[in-house]
Amino acid sequence: MDQILANIGLLFEFPIVNLKIILDGIMVGALFALAAYGLALVWGVMNVKNLAQGDLVICGGYVSWWLVQHGFPALLGVPVAFVVMWGIGWVVYKLVISRVIERDLFTSLLATFGLAIMIAQILNLLFGSDTQSVDLGYPTLHFADGLIDLPIAKLIGVLMAAVLATGVIIFMKSSRMGQAIRATAQDARAARVMGIDTEKVYAFTFSLNSAICGAAGAIIVMVWVIQPFYGIAYSIRAFVIVTAAGLGNLPGVIAAGLGIGAAEQYGAHIFGIGYQQAIAVLLLLLVLLFRLIQQRRNRQVLK
Amino acid sequence: MTAIIDIRRVSKSFGGVVANKDVSMKVKAGTITGLIGPNGSGKTTLFNSIVGYHPIDEGSIQFEGEEISSFPVQQIARRGLLRTFQQTRIYGAMNGVENMLISLPHRKMSIWDALKTYTKEDYERADHLLEFVGLYEKRMLKSGDLSFGQQKLLEFAMALMNEPTCLLLDEPTAGINPTLINGLIDRLRRANTEFGITLFVIEHNMRVIMNMAETIYCLAHGEMLAEGTPDEIQNDQRVIDAYLGAH
Amino acid sequence: MTKNKTVLYSLILAFTFVAPFAFPDFGTQLATLWLMIIVALTWDMTGGQMGYNSLGNIFFYGTGMYVASLICIGLVYDVGDYTNAAGGGIYKFTDAQYFGGLFLGVLGAGLFCSLTAVIIGYLTFGLRGPYFAIGTLGVAIAAGELVSNWDWVGGGQGIALPVYPGDLDTGKIFFYFLFAAVGVGVFVFVKWLYGTRFGAAINAIRDDEEKADAMGIHTLRYKLYTWAMAAFFVGMAGGISAFQLIHFEPLESAYQTINLGIFMVVCVLLGGKGTLWGPVIGAILFHVIKEVTWNYFLGWQWVALGALIVVTVVYFQDGVMGWLMHKHPHLFGIKVEEKTAGETE
């Protein structure tokens, strides 16, 4: 308890520490937002709540890490992970997801949970349970007498995430497939009647989501660490963001993602690093409760 | 005669769309009252407001003298005010008899009663009501497999099983084979006269509602347009215009 | 009950009594089988019967473990000192203290878990479908994480309980009968419950909760009661497990969301959701398959498990009982009408 109070006191004594925490939080939050965007995409188009989202992210990270172990330049890992995970996503769609789309929601949830277990365990068997990361070897910027340090690698990571996100958004707005996806999300039956091949749209959407996760994972392995069992935490964070922001609310997803990143960093600072996982989950419960109370006012429930 | 439902200046909007504006009406106890109006006039919204499906923005709704506008659906149902659904809702996985049994009034059951099995009297009452609506032969079939018209009858029987004081019926004859409508009207009337249940009915079928109701209210564009006896309403120019679409 | 059924149940009961003596090498596996039956049957109470698929029932298992342990230890020693010693130091329990602590602990665990079910349920039963599943999963994960940071209950190291005072084989039989007693208790209880009006009400909630609300059924009350009863049995099972395992950790043993936590769901799906025997058959099937194939998979067991979940969910959703009911509906009293051509109504 004393430690907690001391930690809080530190925030007031040295206000600049707040900036550091927020900056750290925003940088990691940007990647949460990416994963959440993909989750919302799949959710909105196929009504599948993908509990394996975080594991796809970690998988992408390992793809990049493995390449680097074999001499690839690290930055190239991101586009390669994008492509590789696209393929893996396509396979997963054909084998599993396509068969659970039309079923009830618990089915898709449980199926993706099973997938999450499979992916995490396969990664564990292939790469071991140590945490891994890729050191870009870039310098770190220091501000405020060394109280704030900004690794250039992290900055690059955020930039890449922003570029990817922009690319996806432009694609969704202007390409034919992007329009087909949005039409299918609104009303699949109507889309089919208009001649859209919804099966192709679903496969494309899931593969795109998997690719986005892969790229995010490749960025994460450069700027933080990955481990086979970190996946569920990322899945939970993505869920928190989508639940808080709602589907189709892109600015909300970004804001929520950055917000969660900051909240987690604050929590880690105040309560200690061992609580980091707990905070992510507690945020989930808080957001659910909050939305419940919101719905109660209209005598509705959270479906 | 007393008003069993007293609706005063009720307004309800969804986002920017005004569904009901300043609507007032009284449903007299023991009667059959009709609610008509062209599509989109706010009839089902009004029903949903009465049974507590959503809160209202303004106004008051009283049932048997008690203000119910702040109550949730279960509480209002437990006071004896029930409704049937336009799309007909029944427990599709259960058979007819089970649907009836589960509709026994829970407000009359304590937790100890709930832990008992269904009694012979329960079964007899279910059979009696199924007979009343003409579904006795099909009572052991999975209710999800029944035809739409049969499901509507089952929903009606379930409502009767719950011993309501007042029943809101949302388009009870919609989708029913025309040759069977007379039978349904007859049963509705008997529910009113024999069981003493007040009926408040939304209807599009003019023949049906003009023959059944004592008082009719007409809504248009979310507001009250006219009220009166069937004769008065049928000859009211405003009602005729509303239906023929003087937009 | 018909004569045939009475004979069948008596045979099963007799087998239950004889099994640990007839197969002494499988004492622990048989006990675990009963544990699976318990968690499967209780999961189905809120899941298959009531329509609320929880992914967090393991919360009650873990909490039961801790509560039972704390009661047993706390009756004799200071808990903080005991957990600080973490197995070292001399903390002895007399036979009376062991058994007394065990029984009181297990009972207390059940009651405490019922209480938490009511509290958590009050907060979470406004969630439907996937939100309820994720929310309950979140509760279980959060509990595991928070407890592993709580030093008073042993933190990440968990708790080490006293060993069974007696020889190992008698101990195995003792725990077998504890689990079997709870298991038989759950089965008899739900068999009775599902035939009452209460059982019909929770089925109505599953089939169409809004309709149930509109017909005046006290839906929240039924949901809370059902979950509280399920939690009672799971809590007791957790308590018994604590003493059987002797040493347990918060994330791996107690709040094991990806092991027992998901096993219970797979068992019910395999056997048939929403039926009386489904969870039992599923638990037996799953346990046997797992025990037989575990060693063959050489490190890939967990991958195989994940694959089993996916395959079961995608292809065998109705389970054994569902398949049987589809093939031979008359065996279950379900009437299917022959559709004749030209029927208009």
CATH architecture of the domain formed by B1-80+165-247: 3-Layer(aba) Sandwich (3.40)
Domain ranges (residues) in chain C: 30-257, 262-333
How many residues in total does chain C contain? 345
Round to whole Å and give the CA distance between B22 and B28.
20
- Contact between residue A41 and residue A208 where contact means Cβ atoms under 8 Å apart: yes
Interface test with B, best of A104, A297, A298, A299 (most B CBs within 10 A): A299
| A292 and chain C in contact, CB less than 8 A | yes
| C305 and chain A in contact, CB less than 8 A | yes
Query: With 90 as the cut, is the pLDDT of residue C132 above it?
Result: yes
Q: Across the beta sheet with B66-67, what order do the strands follow?
A: B17-28, B3-14, B58-63, B66-67
Q: What is the pLDDT of residues C147-156, one digit of tens each?
A: 998 888 888 8
| C299 and chain A in contact, CB less than 8 A | yes
Round to whole Å and give the CA distance between A115 and A130.
21
- Contact between residue A68 and residue A78 where contact means Cβ atoms under 8 Å apart: no
From chain C, pick out residues whose CB is under 8 angstroms from the CB of B90.
208, 211
Domain ranges (residues) in chain A: 2-297
Query: In sequence order, which residues have a C-beta less than 8 Å from that of residue B127 and are 6 or more positions away?
Result: B97, B136, B139
Q: What is the pLDDT of residues B18-48, one digit of tens each?
A: 999 999 999 999 999 999 998 888 999 999 9
- Contact between residue A38 and residue A213 where contact means Cβ atoms under 8 Å apart: yes
C144 vs A11: which has the higher pLDDT: C144
pLDDT at A144: 66
C95 — pLDDT class (breaks 50, 70, 90): confident
Q: Quick check: B94 and C345 CB within 8 A?
A: no
| Strand runs labelled E in chain B | 3-14, 17-28, 32-36, 58-63, 66-67, 81-83, 166-170, 198-202, 215-220, 223-228
Contacts of B among chains (3+ CB pairs under 8 A): A, C
Round to whole Å and give the CA distance between B61 and B58.
10
H-run or E-run covering A149? strand A148-151
Of C55, C149, C313, the CB nearest to A274: C149
Q: What is the pLDDT of residues C106-130, one digit of tens each?
A: 999 999 999 999 999 999 998 988 8
Q: What is the pLDDT of residues C63-79, one digit of tens each?
A: 999 999 999 998 888 88
Query: With 60 as the cut, is the pLDDT of residue B247 above it?
Result: no
Round to whole Å and give the CA distance between A97 and A50.
9
Burial class from Cβ neighbours inside 10 Å (0-12, 13-18, 19+) for residue A140 reads exposed
C86 — pLDDT class (breaks 50, 70, 90): low
Q: What is the pLDDT of residues C295-320, one digit of tens each?
A: 787 778 888 888 888 998 888 888 88
| A250 and chain C in contact, CB less than 8 A | no
- Contact between residue A239 and residue A291 where contact means Cβ atoms under 8 Å apart: no
- Contact between residue C337 and residue B141 where contact means Cβ atoms under 8 Å apart: yes
Q: Quick check: A298 and B55 CB within 8 A?
A: yes
Residue of A nearest to B74 (CA): A299
| Least Cα separation, residue B2 to chain A (angstroms) | 30
Query: Residues of C near B (CB-CB distance < 8 A)?
Result: 193, 195-198, 200-201, 203-204, 207-208, 210-219, 221, 225, 334-337, 344-345
pLDDT at A285: 93
Helix/strand number for chain B, H first, E second: 10, 10
Residue of A nearest to C128 (CA): A303
C342 — pLDDT class (breaks 50, 70, 90): very low
Tokens of C293: 């194939």
Q: What are phi and psi of B165, to 5 degrees?
A: -90, -35
Size of interface B-C (CB pairs under 8 A): 99
Amino acid letter for position C133: A
pLDDT at C335: 64
b/e per residue B213-236 (b: at least 16 CB within 10 A): bebbbbbbebebbbbeebeebeeb
From chain C, pick out residues whose CB is under 8 angstroms from the CB of A236.
138, 141
Round to whole Å and give the CA distance between C155 and A118.
29
pLDDT at C134: 92
Q: What is the CA radius of gyration of chain A?
A: 20
Tokens of B37: 């109006």
End-to-end CA distance of chain C: 38
For residue B202, give the nearest of B11, B43, B7, B20 by alpha carbon.
Answer: B43
- pTM of the full structure: 0.90
Place of tokens 């706390």: C74
DSSP character for C158? -
- Contact between residue C230 and residue C45 where contact means Cβ atoms under 8 Å apart: yes
DSSP for C76-103, please give it.
TS-HHHHHHHTT-S-----HHHHHHHHH
C340 — pLDDT class (breaks 50, 70, 90): very low
Query: In sequence order, which residues have a C-beta less than 8 Å from that of residue A33 and are 6 or more positions away?
Result: A165, A241, A253, A254, A256, A257, A258
Q: Quick check: B72 and A299 CB within 8 A?
A: yes
Helix locations, B91-119, DSSP H:
96-102, 111-114
Cβ-based neighbour number of residue A156 at 10 Å: 17
Interface test with C, best of A55, A91, A99, A106 (most C CBs within 10 A): A106
Burial class from Cβ neighbours inside 10 Å (0-12, 13-18, 19+) for residue B133 reads buried
Q: What is the pLDDT of residues B201-239, one digit of tens each?
A: 999 888 899 889 999 999 999 999 999 999 999 888 888
From chain A, pick out residues whose CB is under 8 angstroms from the CB of C139.
285
From chain A, pick out residues whose CB is under 8 angstroms from the CB of C129.
104-106, 303
Under-50 pLDDT residues of chain A: none
H-run or E-run covering C159? strand C159-160
CATH number of A2-297: 1.10.3470
Round to whole Å and give the CA distance between C209 and C132.
14
- Contact between residue B168 and residue B83 where contact means Cβ atoms under 8 Å apart: yes
Of A117, A232, A278, the CB nearest to C309: A117
What does pLDDT average to over chain C?
Answer: 89
Contacts of C among chains (3+ CB pairs under 8 A): A, B
Round to whole Å and give the CA distance between B201 and B183.
16
Q: Quick check: C217 and B74 CB within 8 A?
A: yes
| Least Cα separation, residue B133 to chain C (angstroms) | 14
pLDDT at C337: 58
Strand partners, B219: B224
HSE-CB for C342 with a 13 A CA cutoff? 0
Q: Quick check: C130 and A284 CB within 8 A?
A: no
Q: What are phi and psi of C273, to 5 degrees?
A: -65, 150
Q: What is the pLDDT of residues C268-285, one digit of tens each?
A: 999 999 999 999 999 999
- Contact between residue C55 and residue C80 where contact means Cβ atoms under 8 Å apart: no
- Contact between residue C281 and residue C239 where contact means Cβ atoms under 8 Å apart: no
B175 — pLDDT class (breaks 50, 70, 90): confident
Q: What is the pLDDT of residues C3-49, one digit of tens each?
A: 888 888 888 888 888 888 888 888 888 999 999 999 999 999 999 99
| Conformational region of residue A172, where left means phi above 0, alpha means psi within -120 to 50, and beta covers everything else | alpha
End-to-end CA distance of chain A: 39
DSSP character for B146? S
Looking at chain B, which residues constitute the CATH 3.40.50.300 domain(s)? 1-80+165-247
3-state secondary structure at position A139: coil
pLDDT at A138: 75
C15 vs C331: which has the higher pLDDT: C15
